[in-house]
């Protein structure tokens, strides 16, 4: 039996988890702004969300059965979630640190704003469901 409420809220749960992970990465970048040779990291939220949500729609790993010794072995491989990437510095520093505080602050604020918006959406959906159930 399908669970549409769980699926709907599951999407937001996944999105909020990814936002929280990204917030931790950005906070780590900001905390290490003065650390020599620290390389700023980040990940593409949209790509990570597509990968995580797409895994629910994908089949498990598939291996083809060989019925002849002349058949070529093959397998379907599903990609994992996006990995952390190193941020390219706009203006490299002499100590090798690639953290640009202006970029990090903007990304941190943008991610925080999206996190709060998603929380409000989930809250409104739950309130709507509760109102429907109470009638």
Report the pLDDT value the prediction gives residue 62, as an integer from 0 to 100.
64
Report the pLDDT value the prediction gives residue 54, as an integer from 0 to 100.
75
Report the pLDDT value the prediction gives residue 31, as an integer from 0 to 100.
96
For the chain, helix (H) and strand (E) counts, in that order, are 3, 4
Q: Stretch 114-119: mean pLDDT, rounded?
A: 96
Residue 93 CA to residue 124 CA, distance in Å, equals: 45
Report the pLDDT value the prediction gives residue 79, as an integer from 0 to 100.
47
Residue 107 CA to residue 27 CA, distance in Å, equals: 10
Domain extent listing, the chain: 4-88+98-134
- With bands split at pLDDT 50, 70 and 90, how would you rate the model's confidence at 116? very high
Whether pLDDT at 77 is above 70: no
Q: Stretch 96-121: mean pLDDT, rounded?
A: 96
Whether pLDDT at 132 is above 70: yes
pTM, entire model: 0.74
Report the pLDDT value the prediction gives residue 114, as an integer from 0 to 100.
97
Residue 94 φ then ψ, to 5° = -70, -30
Whether pLDDT at 81 is above 80: no
* Tokens 């994992």, located at residue: 80
At 45, list the tokens: 């939220």
Whether pLDDT at 111 is above 90: yes
Cβ–Cβ < 8 Å for 104, 33 = yes
pLDDT tens digits, residue range 18-71?
999 999 999 999 999 999 999 999 999 999 988 888 765 444 566 667 788 887
């Amino acid at each position: 039996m399908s669970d549409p409420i769980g699926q709907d809220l599951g999407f937001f749960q996944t999105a909020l988890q990814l936002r929280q992970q990204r917030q931790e990465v950005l906070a780590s970048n900001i905390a290490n702004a003065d650390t020599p040779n620290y390389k700023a990291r980040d990940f593409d939220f949209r790509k990570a969300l597509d990968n995580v949500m797409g895994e629910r729609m994908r089949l498990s790993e598939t291996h083809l059965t060989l019925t002849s010794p002349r058949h070529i072995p093959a397998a379907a491989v599903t990609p994992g979630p996006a990995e952390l990437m190193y941020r390219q510095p706009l203006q490299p520093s002499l100590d090798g640190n690639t953290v640009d505080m202006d970029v990090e602050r903007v990304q941190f604020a943008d991610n925080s704003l999206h996190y709060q918006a998603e929380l409000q959406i989930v809250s409104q959906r739950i309130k709507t469901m509760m109102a429907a159930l109470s009638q």
